[in-house]
Structure 1
Amino acid sequence: MKIIAMIPARYNASRFPGKLMKDLAGEPVIVRTYQSALQTQLFDEVYVVTDSEVIYDTIAKVGGKVLMSKKEHDCGSDRIAEAVENLAVDIVINVQGDEPFIDKISLEKLIQVFKEDKDKQIDLASLKVKMKTKEEIENPNNVKVITDQNDFAIYFSRSVIPYPRNENMDIIHYKHKGVYAFRKRALLDFYTTPMTPLESAEKIEAIRYLEVGKKIKMIETSIESIGIDTPEDLEAAKKEFN
């Protein structure tokens, strides 16, 4: 089973343009992320896939494997799907380009899902983490996920799910972490399917997989990754790196 990591890297991030090229302890953020993915030693190959010549040249300069997107894409899954279409791989792990502090433990759990899935019933695996405060749970920027009794995703939403109508029940709310492990076939099916109605309404790409009948295994993790979405995040990352 060949397992690769794909790091989608878009230059013009809406909240922090050019963040992947910002300096983090002497190297651009995207280089730090690429190096961290290599250092896990979990993958047969690690690629950066980008729409930016600047990012392409930067990764190539450090001897990294990098692919240039040929099309405009609305989400990371589409960008990765285009890149792997002609690659001989079985499992593709989406590593976020703005998260240089790789959570190796959680990635190992995602990979193990497919090693144990002998009948190839699982299309994707992803991560969920418990939310502890009312503010977290009600924040629409936190995508919530509910699962069945076997930890397969039922639905994702920016709204509060499940809604606590019965206030006497001790309900656990989970946030979806946007780290995915895909079977290649599931990724290509996503790529060739138009945006679905619920996905369009919520602006959550994971919903498209559910709407077309894919099975998503959710793995609980307690590790909150450090992402770089703002200049303040970058300063915090510099302190963490040092």
Structure 2
Amino acid sequence: MRADSSLLLGLDTAGSSCSVAIMDKSHVLASRVEIMRRGQSERLLPIVQDLLAETGKDLMDMDGFAVTTGPGGFTGVRIGLAAAQGFALACNKSLVGVNNFEVLARGVPVDEKGVDTQIVVVIDAKRADLFVQSFDSKLVPLTAPFASLPENLNDQLPDGNLLLVGDGVDQVAEDLKTAGRSINFSKASANADAGNLLRCALEQKLFEQEKQSVEPLYLRAPDVSLPKDKTTF
């Protein structure tokens, strides 16, 4: 499939927002990002319907779909994957996945990407630790995705000036400054934009690759509490 000349739909529900975008011939026709901690399952389909109406398109018109694979909340990641898989199956079209680190890094403005700049994406994991990945100015990964406590992050990053982006940056700034790091904050959105998701998918030529399974990116085990044993003797 020539994805750069196709009609594509992307969606993200992995983090603290819900985002949908429709792209035609590498141009975003419509997109929306709604900030929300919960409730993506209720908002996703209405947003999709709104953008289809806005663009005068139908879901069956789509030539392919893209979804963020995480990391993020377990429920949010699953909501997005399930919806995207359902769309792709119903339309018999391709589905590709991009992780949220790449999508957030893609949103950093070009004028912020200095040659010696290390882009550090920091995602709030809703616990003591954070989800992190580092990229160079050309968005080539410098580290694999990992989870880290704020006080340990400096030791896990390569040397160099840091440009921070994501909804967890405020939780690491002080520790990085204390460690002697030079840091700046990107003006990019702290939440994933489905338009950038689709741009990543095109730039990585994902739609041109052989069909492969889209799997969630989890960096820790789920928070599961076993029920208490109420058996009486």
Q: Normalising TM by the smaller chain, what interval?
A: 0.3 to 0.5
- TM-score for the superposition, normalised by structure 2: 0.35
Larger Cα-atom Rg: 2
- TM-score for the superposition, normalised by structure 1: 0.34
